[in-house]
Structure 1
Amino acid sequence: MDEQLIKSGNLPLRRRSLLPGTGFFYPDSLDEDRSEERAREAIEGAEAVVVTDSDADGLGCIALVREMYDAALDVDPFLEEIENRLSEADQSDDEEDEDDEDQPESSVALLAAGPHSLTESLEYVADYAETGVDVFICDIAPDEYEPIAESVETIRKRSDRVSWYDHHQWPEAVAESVGEAGVDLVVGDSDEECSTDVALRSLDYEFDERFTDLAEVTRDHDLWLNEDPRSKDLADYAYWTSAEEYAAVVGAYGADLPESVEDYIAHRRVEKEQLIELAVDRAAYKSIGPWTVGVTYGRCSQNEVADGLQEAGADAAVIVKPSGSASIRGSETFEQAHLVARQVEGGGHPKAAGCKPDIYDDMMDYAYHWTTEGETTKRVILAAFRRVAEDVAAEDEAEQDEPTAE
């Protein structure tokens, strides 16, 4: 197949917004082989390993751990690379920055993961980490213990320290099992702390003030407070660049990013705003139970799109992505996002969750997904909203039927 067919950088913006990025079209087997090899290279010989989500909150945790171990990478080569990227006028969001295979390695290994790749990442640590290594797992909450049980228990037997720092909603049984395995599990209040906050207060180290500031600004975005303009910069930068680059830059500068990084963010943000506008314009609004649900489709920044849908009157926002996944965002009038997501292979917070319905059996299903702007995915998620609305109504009715104490 002509490789240019899967590179959407030269397409008109509206057409590009309907399709996933280039990486989507590479077989998982190629990614898995490459991921395992790179994980092995990073883990072997490391004095500590951090398995963390690849957003700004998760990567704030790796910056803290590397600072504590005096293992931060030199930031100057990354800044030079940013300058090089700025000189490329045709940079587009179809060409996400990847980790450089030749970049230096830290003695604290970084495995960027997520809910769907956590099991695999922990297996890599169990297979390749040396005896006595310290292991940190950050900003990820598993839905079940069984898939990670063997790896966690193997790692705990081999490691001097296994710590898990998070702030998501944990199923009680999973938290108990992780604790019983000997893991130091610290879960912060998801309404008050981000995972960087949890790591900052849990690590036995006197951090410089810039890391306290980094945690505060990261929290501002991760808890959707949006009171500090720097928090949007952190979130966008973490999304647009490699995990290693982000960790190195915020480790050196904290939340006050250097001028070259600010210039790079501004450059990328022009197209980002256009994609947000397209997604908001194609939204539809559905009345489900007591809520108005805004649902849209596109390759876009889900947080800002959700803000736009809520400004238009939505209590909840659903943003379906070309990759087949979806983001669900709540508000003061809808705090059941995690309940909806759990019904369609997902999970998260009461006001922010994600999922990927198991409805894609072959490429024809994806072709239909792209050409109908996610029609089937939207239908499945809206059906989950209806079930949650029915459950909420039943609970309210049961409470009203309970006799009041005299």
Structure 2
Amino acid sequence: MEDELIDSSRLSLSRKSQLPGAGFFYPDSLDEDRSEERVEEAVEDAEVVVVADTDADGLGCVALLREAYDAALDADSFEEDIAERIEQLENPVESDEEDAEADADALEDEDVGPNSSVALVGSGPYSLEDELDNVAEYAPEGVEVFVCDLCPDKYEYVDEELDRLVETASSVRWFDHHQWNDDVAAAVREAGVELVVGESDEECSTDVTLRSLDYEFDDRFRELAEVTRDHDLWIREDPRSDDLADYAYWTGAEEYVTIVGTYGADLPDVATEFVELRRVEKENLIDRAVSRAELKSVGPWTVGVTYGRCSQNEVAEALRERGADAAVVVKPAGSASIRGTDDFELCHEVAGQVNGGGHPKAAGCKPDIYDDMLDYANHWTTQGSAAKRVILAAFERVAERFEAGAYDDDEGVETER
């Protein structure tokens, strides 16, 4: 396959909105090999390892841990890199094949640089067991390990990997704020892990980390936790929280951790300028997703459903303004984000029926409906019609239980995760 066929920078905005990024077309086997190499490079000499989600909340936990262990990296080189990216955004030039290959190499090595003694291993809900296993394999004996802002849907997904990790590490501590199944939480603790789970509608994982560490953080880090919570719980009272979320999404994990560790929630001017430049395209992609949306009546609720590569939170907010109690954003890569409101706080119950999970007002899933590339081709050309049907059917099942009073105890019910 020719590189330009999956190069997003060559696509029109309309096509870019409907197709996944280049990483989607990178085979999992090659990605797993590279991921294993990166983990080995990061943790082989580490004193502490943090396995964290790579959004602003997960990375905020890493910034706190590096501060507590006096292991922060210097921000100067990262700020120089940001300035170079701003120059490229302001003065785009046509690239030849050699330049394209160089850009690809630079992207692949985005987070390669000086290592901290508190190593960062980026993870996500679908790769958690792999990263735990890699840390157990390559981290030195007696290392301290933290897992932040991640929640396994079933203990069986991580049981063997966690056992290996506990044997390798001197301690394993887990800080999170998602909706945990009681049996999963009990099993994780029985494995020898110190698990602290905050109230998902009151704290973000950065909050949990802040209060759980035996360290006196200064106001910069307490404010970072507050602003991170503002976005992660979709409070949106502090405009800086959108800056943090966007910056974490658009830059490398090491850069984000270093910059917010140095400056807190008040990003330096160079980072703010970079975020503002990237937002031009972001707003256009949001507008396209909103324009495709349909409002569906499901039980007592109005559900807004759309498709596209976009920022799901802003799309959900726009749909809420149009009268949606809940919003579903189906992504070109096959996953979907579900967002709620004060009138719909069962997002995690819907996602739990479609191979996912999350919070009452924010959850994610990936329907198990993609058997081969023809299914994905249909997904792109129909703007996610099959995924939409599966997720709306899950809403209908939750609506039936809701109307039958299954959620009256405010604790939800068991769902297959």
TM surpasses 0.5: yes
Instruction: State the partner residue of 1:402.
Output: none
Q: CA deviation at 1:33?
A: 0.6
User: Is the contact made by 1:344 and 1:384 (CA closer than 8 Å) also made in structure 2?
Assistant: yes
Q: In the alignment, is residue 229 of structure 1 matched against residue 266 of structure 2?
A: no
Residues 338, 99 of structure 1: alpha-carbon distance in 2 compared, 3 angstrom cutoff: farther
Instruction: State the partner residue of 1:9.
Output: 9
Q: In the alignment, is residue 382 of structure 1 matched against residue 392 of structure 2?
A: yes
- State the one-letter code of the partner of 1:381: I
Secondary structure at the residue paired with 1:368? helix
Instruction: State the partner residue of 1:146.
Output: 156
Separation in structure 2 between the aligned mates of residue 176 and residue 141 of structure 1, nearest angstrom: 13
Instruction: State the partner residue of 2:328.
Output: 318
Instruction: State the partner residue of 1:278.
Output: 288
What TM-score, normalized by structure 2, do the two folds share?
0.92
- State the one-letter code of the partner of 2:22: T
Separation in structure 2 between the aligned mates of residue 101 and residue 320 of structure 1, nearest angstrom: 29
User: Is the contact made by 2:293 and 2:305 (CA closer than 8 Å) also made in structure 1?
Assistant: yes
Residues 228, 205 of structure 1: alpha-carbon distance in 2 compared, 3 angstrom cutoff: same
Secondary structure at the residue paired with 1:104? coil
Separation in structure 1 between the aligned mates of residue 167 and residue 306 of structure 2, nearest angstrom: 47
Secondary structure at the residue paired with 2:8? coil
Q: In the alignment, is residue 288 of structure 1 matched against residue 306 of structure 2?
A: no
User: Is the contact made by 1:286 and 1:294 (CA closer than 8 Å) also made in structure 2?
Assistant: yes
2:221 to 194, 211, 231: 211
Separation in structure 1 between the aligned mates of residue 259 and residue 57 of structure 2, nearest angstrom: 14
Separation in structure 2 between the aligned mates of residue 217 and residue 100 of structure 1, nearest angstrom: 26
Separation in structure 2 between the aligned mates of residue 397 and residue 238 of structure 1, nearest angstrom: 35
The aligned runs of 1:166-185 (5 Å cut-off) are 166-185=176-195
User: Is the contact made by 1:52 and 1:114 (CA closer than 8 Å) also made in structure 2?
Assistant: yes
Secondary structure at the residue paired with 1:17? helix
Moved more, 225-234 or 68-77: 68-77
Q: In the alignment, is residue 78 of structure 1 matched against residue 105 of structure 2?
A: no
The aligned runs of 1:6-405 (5 Å cut-off) are 6-89=6-89, 90=92, 99-100=109-110, 102-395=112-405
Separation in structure 2 between the aligned mates of residue 207 and residue 382 of structure 1, nearest angstrom: 45
Secondary structure at the residue paired with 2:130? helix
User: Is the contact made by 2:175 and 2:197 (CA closer than 8 Å) also made in structure 1?
Assistant: yes
Q: CA deviation at 1:107?
A: 1.1
Tell me how large the CA RMSD over aligned residues is.
1.7
- State the one-letter code of the partner of 1:49: V
Q: CA deviation at 1:97?
A: 5.8
Separation in structure 2 between the aligned mates of residue 18 and residue 98 of structure 1, nearest angstrom: 24
- State the one-letter code of the partner of 2:59: L
- State the one-letter code of the partner of 2:47: E
Separation in structure 2 between the aligned mates of residue 336 and residue 205 of structure 1, nearest angstrom: 36
User: Is the contact made by 1:310 and 1:317 (CA closer than 8 Å) also made in structure 2?
Assistant: yes
Secondary structure at the residue paired with 2:270? helix
Number of residues of Structure 1 aligned to a counterpart in Structure 2:
397
Separation in structure 1 between the aligned mates of residue 379 and residue 111 of structure 2, nearest angstrom: 34
- State the one-letter code of the partner of 1:82: I
User: Is the contact made by 1:200 and 1:212 (CA closer than 8 Å) also made in structure 2?
Assistant: yes
- State the one-letter code of the partner of 2:395: F
User: Is the contact made by 1:162 and 1:183 (CA closer than 8 Å) also made in structure 2?
Assistant: yes
Gaps of 5+ in 2: 94-102, 410-417
Residues 99, 251 of structure 1: alpha-carbon distance in 2 compared, 3 angstrom cutoff: farther
Secondary structure at the residue paired with 1:46? coil
User: Is the contact made by 1:74 and 1:248 (CA closer than 8 Å) also made in structure 2?
Assistant: yes
User: Is the contact made by 2:302 and 2:326 (CA closer than 8 Å) also made in structure 1?
Assistant: yes
User: Is the contact made by 1:135 and 1:159 (CA closer than 8 Å) also made in structure 2?
Assistant: yes
What TM-score, normalized by structure 1, do the two folds share?
0.95
Gaps of 5+ in 1: 400-406
